[in-house]
Amino acid sequence: MKKLLKIVLGIVVVFVLAIVVVFYFTAGMAGAADEFFASIKRQDIAAARSYLSEDFKASTDEAALKDFLTRGALLNFKETSWSSRQISGGRGELEGEVITESGGVVPMKLLFVKENGAWKIYGIQKLTAGLQTEQSSPNIPAKADQVVLVKQAMHDFAVSVNDKSMEHFHRTVAQLWQRQFTLQKFDEAFGPFFDLGVDLTVLDGFEPSIEPVAGLDENGVLILQGYFPTQPSKVAFTQKFIYEGVGWKLVGFKINIDQA
């Protein structure tokens, strides 16, 4: 009996130590989150932006950030409660709830990246409130939102094809992709579409058929595949997105036009 008690106590001690370690290594993230929301409570959006990563700030200006916080009822912030903390190298996550002054509860996930030795917020995810017509992972946007992502990416690509320059398209994709590939590289990669004589903006009037998404890949990338039901042939696509700032941003784009 004593031996069993020692084993149980040993397991409890190990469990407690594991929790302490997690809290220790994620303290910097929690501190940055607290300061971020404290700035929001003071309505000091400029100060709040100082806790954001460079990619976040580059992809989301002050007005867009304030609009997101307003729509999410986050300007009425009172306190936070983080039920899940994760860290892996220079990246981390806090997941839990933001409590508002009126007693409201907003489910929230903050994504972090380490920049110059300090934890910075890379992305803010808020679960969609209201009636939901489907069951899906909290990490995956609803089907209606997937359609919006696909159509917007295709529209931006079509505009650039018509302009015979990828400048507009390049400006709309994730900061991560922009750093990896310059505008010149985009023009080289997608240049063959310039001479096809096809106006892809006609796809604005079609609803894409998107394959079901089981989850994000191991790098947190959302992959949307499907086609636009054009006649007599279909326009197939593969689009890849990462969560950057306050929304999903494009990091990969493939299109197949069957002109037969």
In a domain, residue 158? The reply is yes
Question: What pLDDT sits at residue 3?
Answer: 55
Question: What pLDDT sits at residue 260?
Answer: 52
In a domain, residue 131? The reply is no
Question: What pLDDT sits at residue 149?
Answer: 96
- Cβ density class 132-151: b for 16+ within 10 Å, e for less: eeeebeeeebeeeebbebbb
Same-domain status, 6 and 118: yes
What would the mean pLDDT of 118-133 be, rounded to a whole number? 74
pTM across the whole model: 0.74
Residue 179 has pLDDT above 80, yes or no: yes
Q: Residue 169: which pLDDT band, with cuts at 50, 70 and 90?
A: very high
- Domain membership of residue 63 as a residue range: 2-126
In a domain, residue 137? The reply is no
Residue 130 has pLDDT above 70, yes or no: no
Which residue's entry shows tokens 């806090």?
Answer: 94
Which residue did the predictor score with more confidence, 39 or 132? 39
* 46, burial (CB in 10 Å: exposed 0-12, middle 13-18, buried 19+): exposed
pLDDT digits (tens, 9 = 90+) for 72-88: 788 888 888 888 888 88
Residue 181: CATH number of its domain: 3.10.450
Q: For residues 71 and 240, give the distance between their C-alpha atoms in angstroms, rounded to a whole number.
A: 26
